[in-house]
Amino acid sequence: MRTTTLRGGWADTRAAEHALARSEAGHDDGVSLLGDPAVGAYTVFVPGDDDSPPQVAVVVAASPKDAPAGARAFRFPGHETLVGAMTVGELLERSSIGRVLDLTGAPVDPRTSVDTQDFVRPTVQDGVLTLVVRPGVHGVLPFEQPHPTPCCADHDG
Amino acid sequence: MSHGHSHPHSHGDARPHAHGEHDHEHAPAEPLSDEQRAVLDLGVADSDLPPAGLARRNILRTAGILGASAAGASVFGVGQAAAADGAERSRRAPRNGYLWLAGDHHIHTQYSSDAMYRVVDQVQHAHAYGLDWMVITDHGSVAHAKLGVEKVNPDIRAAREAFDNEMLVFQGLEWNIPAAEHGTVFVHPGANEVAVLREFENSFDGSVNGTGSSSPANEQQALLGLDFLATSITSGRIADAAFFANHPARKGIDSPHEIRGWRDRQPRIALGMEGAPGHQAAGIPKPYGPGSGRGYYDNSPSAASFPGYPLASYITYGGFDWMTSTVGGLWDSLLSEGKTWWITANSDSHTIYLDDAVRPPGADTSAYFAENGRYGDPVHGSAGGNVNNGDFWPGFYSRTHVGARKATYAAVLEGLRAGRMWVDHGRLLAGLEVRVRERGTRDPGHPLGSVVPVGKGKRLELVVAITKQTLPNWAQVVPHLAKVDVIRGAVTGPASDRDTFSAPGTRVVKSWDVSSSPTAVTLTHDLGAVDDGFYVRLRGSDGRRLAPGLGGASVDPAGPAADVIGDADPWNDLWFYTNPIWVLPR
């Protein structure tokens, strides 16, 4: 069993990630990495239909090659080392992320500084764990932001 | 063309039209006459049409252009109908024929749970900052459907009067489109403006009816909402209505087929989308600003997102939404189909950058809002200007310029529907006139939004008359136009895949460096001898942030750069965009 859809039915990626954390804390949320640190955990989107809204499912796979295209990794080998700022080269060295691309799909110079914001969520593209980055104040940022503006938020901070 | 032009100009155009001196290719694709509208509007029974009108309708039916709901009334349909009809041919219209009225169709007040100002606060600021028309668009919600939609109306009426009706204030709402994003829906003022909006919201708002999530059934609800607006017009309940999709790429949940679906279902009501979203101060760096994404575009795909959209679609470029800013992107894919689909630029004003007003203590809670449908009137705060607010007042930064025959509600709606529109940020331009005409003539030509039906082989030119800005903008800086680009694409007809979002042939074909041009500059671009159908649109910039476009330098060598999250100074990255003009060989 190389790929397992363990659970579905979460409203968003955050809730799905939280379910894994709860499982690891002893709650029965049904998500497990099977005790293997080499295994990756991914969120995948399940489109809605007339009977159910769109949902987020979690897939556990031994390798990005076994995960669905577009799956978004939130646990992967080396993920815990991706904190603070580092160069793209260091990020590639420390984790199982296989490449870093800019918004046009071009590889980013390994010397470029990336501020991880302690939140790195690469996706599977062509079987490779791929981090797309966006321009940041200093260097680049992982595309997905840790605290996106929610819909209809009260912006009056 | 000898057939009659005796149709009444019921929109009240006081200017006489000189008819009968032009042949077909000079017939501007002007707004449809009432007679043409009746032909296209299947709400008007065949038996109610004059014989000539019925004949035209049957031609369109035979051609498959006129379906069950006038679906697919693309530029082919409109252009051919106009050619068959002679349209409203006017030699007076060009250049000085239109008042260019600046406006904003996306503005919130204290009747939105995430906003705070009185209607008159917004109107007063918009007036001061030079707008001529505006739409109040509080969020659709349970509280708004029950209370706000009704209670805001006296405030709007009072604001109209307070400015001697100099400011055109439409009532609308920000529709939670079933299965999709938000959109502006608004109506022509009248006795039933509230009744129609209330019924629309209660019946078709995604939040009110729990139809927000993506599903085929909910997508159908969105279409039924547009049908309701159309019926409200044909039944005479309201004089007119319009819909624009707001911040369409923000969360990736407006799929290409939904956009095509809205537009094709009711092409006279579903008019376009925000080319540039509001919240343009949101990217100002901390600690001076919110430090977010420009336009609050800082999201990533969700389960509701269209899976085909790339991550690059979730951010803005030069302050503009990816659908519009990408040369050869989603907007161009619609234009190359011949679909009329226009762009606008608005404030989405909720809470203003550096404003120090606050909601009044005691009347500032969600419980108060739920009970009253609004917050209390804002009061002076004691914490200084709020650097976390990401919006500008209406007219302060974003403007949608509409070519209207006169300064009336009907004329603004007519100009919006005709696509006679261009948009700018930071008052980049003082004036802009764009025409397509026969090359080398002094023909006044065809304005923005036109479909130019022309004989094959005829040589055309694009004439762009720019008045550069000489006055400072509201940041106290005189903006400086550095360059103007012509974007051209082939008309390739209906897309076989309704989820297509690219137009591979569209690219920048001409760029002018105008940085040292005089204040009044006229640029002319040879469009060549007409062979196949095409469209042209324009874009220009202060030249401060340029980068190759997402389609590569061969498509767009110096387009808008990706906005940097947490570091997007809106005043140092100014653009204008126009709507297109199509040229179709006969």
- What are the tens digits of pLDDT across the range B87-103? 333 333 334 589 999 99
**Terminal CA-to-CA distance of chain B, rounded, Å?**
16
Q: Provide the number of structural domains found in chain A.
A: 2
- Classify residue A154: in a domain, yes or no: no
Question: Is the domain of A17 the same as that of A66?
Answer: yes
Interface check for B28 against chain A (CB to CB < 8 A): the answer is no
| Domain end (from A41, A75, A109) | A75
Walk me through the domains of chain B, giving residue ranges and CATH numbers.
Answer: 1-93 (no CATH), 99-380 (3.20.20), 429-585 (2.60.40)
Question: Is the domain of A59 the same as that of A106?
Answer: no
Inform me whether the pLDDT recorded for A21 exceeds 60: yes
- Classify residue A149: in a domain, yes or no: no
Question: Is the domain of A71 the same as that of A8?
Answer: yes
Question: Is the domain of A64 the same as that of A84?
Answer: no
Question: Is the domain of A85 the same as that of A125?
Answer: yes
- Whole-Å CA distances, B137 to B148, B161, B413: 11, 19, 16
- pLDDT the model gives residue B165: 81
Return the residue of B nearest to A139 by Cα.
Answer: B564
| CB within 8 Å of chain B, chain A residues 44-63 | 45-50, 53-56
Over its length of 586 residues, how does chain B's per-residue pLDDT go in tens digits? 333 333 333 333 333 333 333 333 333 333 344 554 454 444 555 556 555 555 544 444 433 333 333 334 567 654 333 333 333 333 333 345 899 999 999 999 999 999 999 999 999 999 999 999 999 999 999 999 999 999 999 999 999 999 988 899 999 999 999 999 999 999 999 999 999 999 999 999 999 999 999 999 999 999 999 999 999 999 999 999 999 999 999 999 999 999 999 999 999 999 999 999 999 999 999 999 999 999 999 999 999 999 999 999 999 999 999 999 999 999 999 999 999 999 999 999 999 999 999 999 999 999 999 999 999 999 999 999 999 999 999 999 999 999 999 999 999 999 999 999 999 999 999 999 999 999 988 888 999 999 999 999 999 999 999 999 999 999 999 999 999 999 999 999 999 999 999 999 999 999 999 999 999 999 999 999 999 999 999 999 999 999 999 999 999 999 999 999 999 999 999 999 999 999 999 8
Question: Is the domain of A89 the same as that of A30?
Answer: no
Question: Is the domain of A54 the same as that of A91?
Answer: no
What sign results for the dihedral spanned by CA atoms B177, B180, B184, B187?
A: negative
The rounded distance, in Å, linking the Cα atoms of B233 and B172 is: 15
Interface check for A106 against chain B (CB to CB < 8 A): the answer is no
- Classify residue A22: in a domain, yes or no: yes
- pLDDT the model gives residue B20: 32
Q: Do B388 and A148 touch (CB under 8 A)?
A: no
Q: Which helix (H) or strand (E) holds A115?
A: strand A113-115
**B292 contacts in chain A (CB < 8 Å):** 149
Interface check for A104 against chain B (CB to CB < 8 A): the answer is yes
**A144 contacts in chain B (CB < 8 Å):** 300
| Residue B76 DSSP SS3 | helix
Q: Do A155 and B293 touch (CB under 8 A)?
A: no
CA distance to partner chain A, nearest, from residue B454 (Å): 38
- pLDDT the model gives residue B97: 80
Q: Do B386 and A156 touch (CB under 8 A)?
A: yes
Question: Is the domain of A15 the same as that of A69?
Answer: yes
**B298 contacts in chain A (CB < 8 Å):** 145, 148-149
Interface check for A146 against chain B (CB to CB < 8 A): the answer is no
- Classify residue A157: in a domain, yes or no: no
Give pLDDT tens digits for B216-274.
999 999 999 999 999 999 999 999 999 999 999 999 999 999 999 999 999 999 999 99
Return the residue of A nearest to B383 by Cα.
Answer: A157
Candidate from B213, B350, B564 with C-beta closest to A135:
B564
Task: Show Cβ contacts of residue B341 under 8 Å, excluding neighbours closer than 6 positions.
Answer: B259, B263, B271, B272, B273, B331, B334, B335
Question: Is the domain of A67 the same as that of A121?
Answer: no
CA distance to partner chain A, nearest, from residue B402 (Å): 28
Residue with tokens 């990533």: B300
Interface size, chain A vs chain B, as Cβ–Cβ contacts under 8 Å: 116
Inform me whether the pLDDT recorded for A17 exceeds 80: yes
- Classify residue A110: in a domain, yes or no: yes
| CB within 8 Å of chain A, chain B residues 113-132 | 113-114, 116
Question: Is the domain of A17 the same as that of A59?
Answer: yes
The rounded distance, in Å, linking the Cα atoms of B451 and B584 is: 7
Do B448 and B419 contact (CB within 8 A), yes or no? yes
Tokens of A102: 């800019």
| Domain end (from A20, A41, A75) | A75
Ramachandran assignment for B191, one of left (phi > 0), alpha (psi -120 to 50 degrees), beta (any other) = alpha
> What DSSP assignment string belongs to B329-388?
SHHHHHHHHT---EEEE---BSSBTT--EEPPTTS-SHHHHHHHSSPPPPEE-SS-S-TT
Return the residue of A nearest to B213 by Cα.
Answer: A53
**A157 contacts in chain B (CB < 8 Å):** 290, 386, 388-389
Q: Do B298 and A134 touch (CB under 8 A)?
A: no
Interface check for A156 against chain B (CB to CB < 8 A): the answer is yes
Question: Is the domain of A12 the same as that of A57?
Answer: yes
- Classify residue A134: in a domain, yes or no: yes
For A123, phi then psi, to 5°, come to -125, 160
Candidate from B282, B290, B298 with C-beta closest to A148:
B298
Q: Do B303 and A12 touch (CB under 8 A)?
A: yes
Q: Do B296 and A135 touch (CB under 8 A)?
A: no
B434 DSSP β-pair partners? B464
Domain encompassing residue A54: 3-75
**A148 contacts in chain B (CB < 8 Å):** 298-300
Question: Is the domain of A95 the same as that of A130?
Answer: yes
Tokens of B556: 């767009």
Return the residue of A nearest to B551 by Cα.
Answer: A104
Inform me whether the pLDDT recorded for A9 exceeds 90: no
Return the residue of A nearest to B568 by Cα.
Answer: A137
- Classify residue A153: in a domain, yes or no: no
| Domain end (from A53, A75, A97) | A75
Count of alpha carbons within 13 angstroms of residue B457, beta-carbon side = 0
- Classify residue A16: in a domain, yes or no: yes
**A53 contacts in chain B (CB < 8 Å):** 213-215, 303-304
